[in-house]
Every structure is written in C-alpha cells, then in structure tokens.
Structure 1
Amino acid sequence: MDKKSFNLVTEPWIQVLDKNGNPKEVSLLDVFEDAASYQRLAGDMASQDLVILRLLVAILTTVYSRVDANGEVYEWLTLDEKMHVKEADEEDYEYDDLVNTWQLLYKNGQFSKSVAQYLKENSSKFDFLGDAPFYQVNKEVYDQEVPANKKVNIKSLKGTVDIKQINRTISESNNSPSIFSPKTRQTKNEVNMAQLVRWIITYQGFTGVTDKTKVNSKKKFSVSAGWLYGLNPVFAQGENLFQTLMLNLVFSEEYRVEKPFWEFENAVEYIEFLKDEPFARDLSISTLYTLWSRMLHIEWIDDEPIIFTAGLPKLDSTEAFVEPMTTWRRNKKTGEVYPATKHLTDLTKAMWRNFGQYVRTTDSDELEDMHEPEIIKWLRNVQDSEYLPTDTSLTLRTTTLISDGNATSQSPVVEVNDQFRIKADVLFDKNDKDYWPEDIENMIDLTQQVGKDFWIFTNNISKLRGLDGTDFADNSTAKFYESLNLPFLTWLASLRNDQERTAKTVEWKNILKKVAIIKAEEVLKNASPRDIIGQESSKEEGSGINNIFTIFNWYKLNVFRHIK
C-alpha cells in the first residue's frame, strides 16, 4: 500500500450509486463534476452517508459563500490565491446575492468550475496520508498535545482504537464482542484505504466516550461524543445527488466567515481553538459540518493502520441555530433551546408521527416552543422565491446512530433511518385559512388518539387474560402503527395544494378507521375460550360480564366517536 499520498481530491473514495443503480467509488472532483449523474451517496451505512453529505455541503458552503455562480467574488470580500477570505466588510453583506447564486446553480443543474478550482488550490489539505493528514494530526502534533505517558508508542499501544470499533457496522471493543457482526473475527479489522477514510470521517461525527486519553488542557472538560450524536438529524433528498447537495446547501442570513477545519493555519491552531470550547452558536456552518470530536493519529506498521486517539472538548449546543440539520427542543425550566436527540425509546415512532417537529403547523403564536429546523426555513425561503417548481416533491429524511444510553460509553447500538415525501407547496402552504400543515398535524393527532384507543383495547384484553404489565399492549400498539406507516406516507405524498382539504382528510379518516378495525379483529381471531366467557366486571367498570366482545364493542365506540 502506497503510504506517501492518498489525496481525496483525485483518488476515488466516495461511494455512490450511478444512474443504473450500480455502486461506484469516486473522488471529490468527480462527485462535484458529475453529481447529477449519480442517484445518491451509497456508503457502508446511511449514517455514514450523512457524514459524507455534510462534508460535501461544507465544501459547497465555503465556495459559494465567497463566489457566485459565475465565479465572481462577492463585492464585500477579498480572497487570497487559495480562495480563502482575506478581508470581509460585514456591513455590505448581501444575503440575497447568495440566494441568487443558489438559484442559478439549481437552474443550471450543475456546479460551476469554482468548486474544482477551490479543491485544486487546497489539495494539500485533503491528503489522507500527507504531512498534515486529513481529519488527523501527525506524530509530532499528537505527542505535543497529549500527556507524556500517552505519546505514540507502537509497543504499548496506549490510547488506540481498533478498526472494528470505528467501523460502525461492528462497533466492537475488546471488552464487548459484537455478536451479530457482518464480518468474521479474523476480518473485523480489515479495510481498504477508501473504507478507512470513510470510517475515520464517520467516527468524528459518532464517537462514544470510552477513550482513556484526552488532549492537554488547563481546565477540565467533558469529552465530545461527536456533534452528530447530539442531534436529531433532518435533511432533504432530491432526485439525484446534485439536487440533494443543493437542497441542503443553506446560507446564513447573518454573515459568518465559513471556516472548515482545513482552513485553519495548522492542526495545532485548530485544536487550541477547540480547547477554548467556543459556543457552537458562534461558529459557521462549515465549521460544524467538519467538527472533530477526536484528535487522531495513524501509524502505519506493515501497511496496517494503528489509530491513536485523544478526546476533544464537547461544545455547548445551546441555541446553536447555525446548525441547519436538526430539530429542536426547549428546556421548560430555563427556556433555552437545544438540539433534540433520539433515544432507544424513540425506535417505534416513525418520522411522520413527529411531523410537528419538522415544520410549523400553524401560523399563530400557539407554537412558541417550536423552533423550525434551519433547513426547513431555508427550503421555505427558496420555495417562496419561486426557485423551486411548485410541483417539486421533497423527501425529508432522518438518519442517525442511537447510543446505548450509558453515560460512560455511549456506544452506538442501532441505526435509525426514516423519511417522508411531500410536495413543497403543501409543506410550505401559503393559504391562511386552509393551511395544509395544520390539517396534516390534525390527522396525526387523530391517528395517535386512535392509537391510544387501540392500546387501551389491547391492555384490557391483557387484563382479561391475567397478564401482568403492559408488554402485550405496547407490542400490539407498535405493530398497529407499523401497519399505518405505508398508508400514511402514501396519503401524505398524494396531497396537492389545489385539492379540497376536507375530501383528503376524510380519505385518511376512512383509511384509519379501516385499519383500526382490522387490527382489532386480528386480536379477536386469537381469542381463547377464557376470553369469550369473560369475567364479572369490577366495581369501577360497572355490573355485567366483561369479555373480549364487550371490550371490542367499547373500542369500536371510541374509535367511531373520535374519527366521527
């Protein structure tokens, strides 16, 4: 293996699907030049694709916050020969100029030559095996930034992490073997160079906190588990990779100098910057999209990578609205807003059921606790500017890794990957009276009310059978919602802005009623003689016999009453 250079600008390492659905590895130059020819990113897992997407968008954000679609530098900026910002007159910043740049790029269906120019001018910063290796530091910097007893030592291998641990399809430490690994024990630490690059970048976003080594610092700090670990991601997917990159290319109304990590003078300057624990809200989009959680150094022994790692500080994410790709939650005690995160308890809840977290469902001030994701605000802006065709269908996606919930490990245990499709003029409805998002949210609220009815129904059946706990009701209700996922997503995608709202809401009510009765009847089919005979009702329930049929009748009554 050639250890001298592996430059990501020209070497193939990004995995995509071509027009025919075949996987292909391409370089940074290739991916931007032919983005419209590829369906989508197709790496080792969906959460890895999200990390790579953010890296690609960081490059685009950096370039097009400095030059327009024709390669002309904006009037308020002065750039150097590497297209870095030398001077900026913030008072002359014109947000509309960036929006116009976005429109021209989207209309042209391809990126301008400025992206390739930027990559070529800065190619030395993208060499994975260079003197300043990409997303890593060299040995000199590593030894300088860690305690003396944690310096690089290939004999003791203190402070190292195995490939099988950063490979998030395995995530195996030496203390806890991965039972359902996609690789055999002998091959868990085997990767080619392209795979290694992708996993190193992914590891910076989803890390865990099992590391024993921290960078030197005068003050104590909490080690970062990776910025993406602290988000509930949301992003847009287009008909091809070009559209996906463009739909997620967000510009800030407030001027910020875009500064991905490779534009810092050197690795030491960047690490010192992180040690100061800046507020995330003060950073630029590209800084967050390329944020390190670990200082990594790779030693190559007999062509095999030995990865040394040291923890970096966790940034304060309070009101970090510069981050476009997340939903938000408000702390009711302090009033502060933080990125929402997903937990193991969220696994059974599909993305559509949280519709109100992704878009404001009413124009009133009733939703004062709701802060829309910045990506949604941006897409509404370009839709309002008529830069997206009115019949454009948007696919909003979420994908992330969920940790084990253990504060001392935060190891990933499951990947969540979900989406829903909706027309842009429905999502960003301009009607004051007949507002589609409000009607959609009302149908979701109704669906969840019927879901509660179903839980009560199955819980009553559970009691009738003398079962302890709510496992039967919980599992049955999860399956109930699973059976609604495809019908609701199909209904949501069918909505148009020129439709009669009432007719479409009635359509969903009829679907919901049908599914609600069918799923309950499935429970009846498994009735035992004991269920049919029943038992005497309790005092709270009133007099008479309580059996599976009386419980079913009460359930139907509640469903019909709620659906009307």
Structure 2
Amino acid sequence: MNDHNGFNLLDEPWIVVLDNNGREQEVSILGLLDNARRFITIGGEVPTQAFAIFRMVLAFLHRALDGPADQDGWLELWSADQLPMGRIRAYAGRFHHRFELFDPVAPFFQVAGLHTANNEVSSLEKIVSDVPNGAPFFTTRSAASLERISAAEAARWLVHAHAFDPSGIKSGAVGDPRVKGGKGYPIGTGWSGQIGGILAQGRDLRETLVLNLIGRDVESYVRIGAPDDVPPWERDPDGPSSHERPPRGAIDLYTWQTRRVRLVGSREGVVGVVLANGDKIQPQNLHGLEPHSAWRYSEPQTKKYKTTVYMPLAHDPNRSVWRGLEALLPSVSGRRGGSGSEPQPFLAPGVLQWISDLVAHDLLPETYKPGIWACGADYAEQNATIGDIVADTLPLSILILRADHPAAGRAAVEAVNDADQAAAETRKLAENIAQAAGAEPKSGAGDWARELLYAQLDEPYRRWVATLVPGVDIDARRSRWRQVVSESARRIAAEVISAAPPSAWLGREVRGRLINVSIAEAWFNAAIRRLLPPAGANTTTLEVATR
C-alpha cells in the first residue's frame, strides 16, 4: 500500500465509473478490474478522458494476462464470471512503484524534475480540457476551481493529455534538444486525437474490456502483445528529450507518450503543470497497429509516399456515427477482403474485425448485441485547441459485423445510402424554392432541410439496424426502411413548401429555366419515387449459419 504522502493509481480511487445503479464513483485500477461486473462504463469530466483511460487500462490488462494468446484464450476470459485477479495482482505487484503519481524518480506518465530554463509552471488549464485554452469563459468551472484540483482528477487529465493534448507551442524543457528560444514548437496532437476512436461495448464493464482484448495471433491485421510492445511503466523512465522511433504495437499506441509532463502538487492537490513536447508520431499506415479506428485510403498521401497509404478516419462532429457505418463494418470494409488491384476505400477497425472472427468461429452467439462507441476530438486553429468532442454509441445486431455473411452489413450500409440520397433531394428542393424566391445559390436553406431530415432519421435508423437479426426477411426490412425515409422526406418537403413566400410560387428563371414551387415539388417527388421504390416480390433471408 501507499505511504501517507503517496498516491498510487493501482490502489487509490481515481477512475470515474458508472455502477449498475446509475451512480458515479471513483475506483482504483485494481478496484475497477476486481469489480468490473458491477460497473457499466468508465466516465470522466469529458468523453475523451474516458476513452484515454480505457485504453490505458486495456494496456495494463493485456500485459497482466500476457495475452490473450489466441481465440481459445479469449474464450476462457469471456466465459469466466470475473477477470483473473490472481494473475492481475501478481503483475501489479511487479510494477507497483511505477504507478506512483508523485514518485521522485519515476512518477507515472511523467518526467521527474522536468523544468524550463526559468522554472515556469503553467496553470492547470493547460491540461484541463473542459476549459478551452485561452478562453476560460466558455466553461462552467469557476476560476477558483482551477487553482487546485484533486490528485485523482489530475491523474485523469494526465492520461488524457498524452492521448488528446492539442498541438501548438509547449514549454521548452531543459534537456530537450528540439527546444528553440525556450519554446517547444508543434509536433502534433496526442495519438488518440489523430484517430476516430472506436471501441466495442458490452453489457457491463467486464464484457467491454474483454471484447476489446485482441489475441496476439492476429498479426495479419493487428500487432499486439509482441515482446517489444510494452507500456511506459515497463520501460526505463523517460527524460525530457523524445524517442525518435516508430510504435511497436497496439499496447505502445494505447499509452503513447506524446508529451513530457510534471504535475506540481501532492496527494493533497495539484496546483500546476509543466507540459512539454514528447514523442512525435505520424499516422500514415498504422492500421496494422491501431485497432480502435477505421482507416481511409488517401490518394494524395499515396502519391506523396509512392506507396499505398491509409490514414485514420477521424469522426465528423456534424455526423452521427451511423452515417459513416460503411467504414466500420468488416462485412463491407473488412481487413481480409480487397483481393483486387485497387485499394479498398476503407478498412474497418481491427477490434471489429476481431469480433467478426469470433462470431465466425462460434465464440460469440449471433444473438449477442454489442455496441459501437465512437469517441474523438475535433481540433481547431491549426490543431492548437480542441474545438469539439465526438461521443456517440450505436447498438448493433452482431450479424452486421460478420465478414463471412455480409448480407446484413450490406443492407445496413444501403439503408444509410437511402438516407443520404433522400437528404440530397430534400436539400435540392429547399434550395430550388429559395432560388425561386430570389435567393442566391448556396443560401443555406438546403443545408437546413438536409440536416433536419438526418435528425428525424437518427433514432429510427438506430432502432431499424438493431432488427437485422438471424432469420429476418432482409427485403421486408429494407422496404420498411425506404418507407420510413420516404415519409420523413415528404414531411420535411411539406414544411418547406408551406413556408415558401408568394414570390417562390410565381418563380423566376434560374440558369436558363423557370423554377417555382410547383416545379421544384414535381422534381422532388419524381426523385423520391425513383430512389426509394417499393420492395420487389423476391425476398432474401438472413439465415443463422449452422455448423
């Protein structure tokens, strides 16, 4: 156990969790793992904090278990009532001293004695991301609450800083050869801030942790748990200078030390921070190491590097996760497909490919319904500030992940395409009517109508995609969805038409042809009938695979 002045993250409560009764509490790393069935999820001040802590815990769990080695090892963990705490505590005992937050030699995720030439200490807003840097009036925190935070909260923001800290100029640490004029010039955001974070989500925290534990034997699409793929607490403590090296595996990426940090304070509270640059990381072609993101083919990067390049597919804060479902599904964008000469447009997250493989080998039942948790940061001002945080959950039928039975996945993606096409026609209608009334092109009226349709389809799509279960009539489901989209689009069209001014009914000539409300409505109705036809007589059934 800790001495009176210590704060050891293995023993001290610091991770926010939501328990099965909906109450928040703080637990230690070992407390979280020992009681994972009692908790629903990890929480925190902001969603990205939970994502960063979750990945750190995953790294700890992978190393404590030295695995899982393969699917059989995974099944043993999945089938047990709780995590193997004997092995976990033995591992914790070996590295207990490396989890001390204020250790004078090797403080957790920090550099002992880190300082600038003038011994400057920054205020806590440098790492507290619910206070926009330089704009403290955009927060619910009081100024006094930033003068001192608890050691527990400081630990949460410390993990978050390595994962999501914005780019920009940092303090110039003594001993870092990259420092110029006392400043550390930008090296990019934290690694988790460069990806579009995707985690599989179970019914409780134990299930969620195990679902995201990928076996060591899947090096065809994720390298994880190799002898050199270790977290910082198993390496020599960092100094102020960086390590110019590529990442060695997923565990390395889960705990990548993007910054050099020193918390100023004690277990009684933290009052400041020294925040300097750490290890730079480039995102090109890390899809074989990073399992918690989808990836997109980049033609400009491919031309630049003269080899096929995939980049992380970051989340768009203006789009719900279901609208980008194509890139997430192994059944559509799988890691085991793409035998043609042309690169795939997307690669699904490795963790979802792993789950698809588990289902294909009957290790997860097709009736199981996991969730996809999407989490990420959207940066502004040359990545120097966090502009927005993306957090979204999509419950799924596990059948749509199956790469070996792709019909359900294709249906889910085709349904998104239905929504996209209807949204495009709804936008055209509103834009045409606005121009008929005298507005200039791109007036914004079309964008408003399009986003209104997406908002109306958001909850119906989430309910609909969960119905793609074994035995369902896929054509009947598709027909029902097209009906929902058509009815929603027509409702919005009616609102747009009813709000049209008299001048729009009279109309005017735009680009050489007359446009008025009646003509615009006729074009819209014809497009909707063409794009969303009734289902044909033939049906396709999603059958349960038998062995």
TM-score range, shorter chain: 0.7 to 0.9
Partner of 1:166: 127
Aligned position for 2:54: 53
2:273 to 296, 307, 310: 307
Change (3 A) 1:390 1:535: closer
Matched residue SS, 1:136 = coil
Work out whether residues 152 and 308 of structure 1, in 8 Å CA contact, stay in contact via their aligned partners in 2. Answer: no
Separation (CA, whole Å) in 2 of partners of 1:316 and 1:429: 30
Deviation of 1:24 after TM superposition, in Å, equals 0.8
Decide whether the 8 Å contact of 1:236 with 1:396 is kept in 2: yes
Task: Name the counterpart of 1:410.
Answer: 384
For 2:230, the equivalent position in structure 1 comes to 259
1:449 paired to 2:421: yes
SS in 1 for 2:485: helix
Aligned ranges 1:200-349 → 2 under 5 Å:
200-214=158-172, 216=175, 223-252=187-216, 253-254=218-219, 256-257=226-227, 258-268=229-239, 274-276=242-244, 278-280=245-247, 283-300=248-265, 304-320=270-286, 321-333=288-300, 334=302, 335-342=307-314, 346-349=316-319
Residues 503-540 of structure 1 show CA distances to partners (whole Å, capped at 9, x for unaligned) of: 110010110111010111111232322233x2244473
Please point out which of 417, 424, 439 is paired with 2:411: 439
CA distance in 1, matches of 2:93, 2:486: 59
User: Are 1:399 and 2:404 an aligned pair?
Assistant: no
CA spacing shift, 1:189–1:521, aligned 2, 3 Å = farther
TM-score scaled to structure 1, two decimals?
0.84
In structure 2, the partner of 1:556 is 525
Give 5+ residue unaligned stretches, structure 2. 180-184, 220-224, 534-547
Match in the other structure for 2:541: none
Match of 2:449 in 1: 476
- Given that 2:132 and 2:138 are in contact with CA atoms closer than 8 Å, whether structure 1 keeps it comes out as no
Encode CA deviations 1:195-228: one digit per residue, 9 max, x unaligned: 1110111111111123343454567985241001
State the distance in 2 between where 1:410 and 1:165 align: 11
Distance in 2 of aligned mates of 1:471 and 1:390: 44
User: Percent identity, aligned pairs only?
Assistant: 21
SS in 1 for 2:31: helix
Give yes or no for contact 1:109–1:242 (8 Å, CA) kept in 2.
no
Instruction: Name whichever of 332-341 and 546-555 sits farther off.
Output: 332-341
Partners of 1:423 and 1:429 in 2: CA distance: 14
Residues in 1 aligned to 2:52 and 2:246: alpha-carbon distance in whole angstroms: 21
SS at match of 1:326: coil
Tell me the secondary structure at the aligned position of residue 494 of structure 1: coil
For 1:401 and 1:375, how far apart are their aligned partners in 2? 20
User: What are the Cα deviations for residues 231-269 of structure 1, in whole angstroms up to 9, with x where unaligned?
Assistant: 01111111000011111112343461231011002324x
Q: Which one-letter code corresponds to 1:137 in the other structure?
A: V
**CA separation of 1:104 and 1:304: change in aligned 2, threshold 3 A:** closer
Corresponding position of 1:425 = 399
Who is 1:87 aligned against? Answer: none
1: CA distance between counterparts of 2:478 and 2:394?
A: 18
Aligned to 1:525: 498
Cα-to-partner distance string for 1:78-104 (whole Å, 9 max, x where unaligned): xxxxxxxxxxxxxxxxxxx43212111
Q: Is the 8 A contact 1:12 1:194 kept in 2?
A: yes
**Letter in structure 1 aligned against 2:390:** V
* Structure-2 change in CA distance of 1:392 and 1:509 (3 Å): same
**Equivalent residue pairs, number:** 502
Q: In structure 1, what is the Cα distance between the partners aligned to 2:130 and 2:273? A: 18
Looking at structure 1, the residues matched to 66 and 512 of structure 2 have their Cα atoms a distance apart, in angstroms, of: 67
Match of 1:497, SS state, is: coil
- Give the conservation status (yes or no) of the 8 Å contact 1:429–1:497: no
> Structure 1, unaligned stretches of length 5 or more?
69-96, 144-149
Give the drift of 1:349.
1.8
Distance 1:292 1:327 in 2: 22
Q: 1:490 aligns with which of 444, 463, 466?
A: 463
How much does 1:181 deviate?
0.6
Q: Which residue of 2 aligns with 1:31?
A: 32
CA 1:500–1:341 in structure 2 vs 1: closer, same or farther (change >3 Å)? closer
Q: Which residue is 1:42 aligned to?
A: 43
Alpha-carbon distance change, 470 to 109 in structure 1, aligned in 2, over 3 angstroms: farther
C-alpha separation in 2, matches of 1:524 and 1:108? 59
**Cα distance in 2 for residues equivalent to 1:3 and 1:188:** 25
CA distance in 1, matches of 2:432, 2:62: 55
For 2:269 and 2:387, locate their aligned partners in 1 and report how far apart those are by CA, in whole Å. 30
Query: 2:482, 2:269 → 1: CA distance?
Result: 62
Could you tell me how far 1:359 is from its partner in structure 2?
A: 1.4
Shift of the alpha carbon at 1:365? 4.8
| Contact preservation (8 Å) 2:43, 2:50 | yes
Residue type at the aligned position of 1:161: S
Q: 1:249–1:530: structure 2 CA closer, same or farther, 3 Å change rule?
A: same
Looking at structure 2, the residues matched to 8 and 133 of structure 1 have their Cα atoms a distance apart, in angstroms, of 11
Matched letter for residue 203 of structure 1: A
Q: Does 1:134 align with 2:112?
A: no
CA contact (8 A) 1:164 1:189 kept: no
Q: Which residue of 1 aligns with 2:489?
A: 516
Separation in 1 of the partners of 2:274 and 2:403? Answer: 51
| Residue in 1 that maps onto 2:153 | 195
1:358 aligns with 2:328: yes
Distance across 2 between alignment mates of 1:539 and 1:193: 65
Decide whether aligned partners of structure 1 residues 178 and 478 sit closer, same or farther in structure 2, where only a CA change above 3 A counts.
Answer: farther
The verdict on how the C-alpha distance between 1:203 and 1:479 changes in structure 2, with shifts beyond 3 A counting, is same
Judged with a 3 Å threshold, the aligned counterparts in structure 2 of structure 1 residues 152 and 296 are, in CA distance, closer, same or farther, namely farther
**Gap change, CA 1:291 and 1:23, over 3 Å in 2:** same
Q: Is the 8 A contact 1:429 1:436 kept in 2?
A: no
Q: Distance in 1 between matches of 2:508 and 2:112?
A: 76
Contact 2:203 2:370 (C-alpha < 8 Å) held by counterparts: no
Match status 1:383 vs 2:359: yes
Amino acid at match of 1:430: D
Query: What is the deviation of 1:120?
Result: 2.3
Q: SS of the counterpart of 1:480? A: helix
2:13·2:26 contact (CA, 8 Å) conserved in 1? yes
Structure 1 residue matching 2:471: 3-state secondary structure? coil
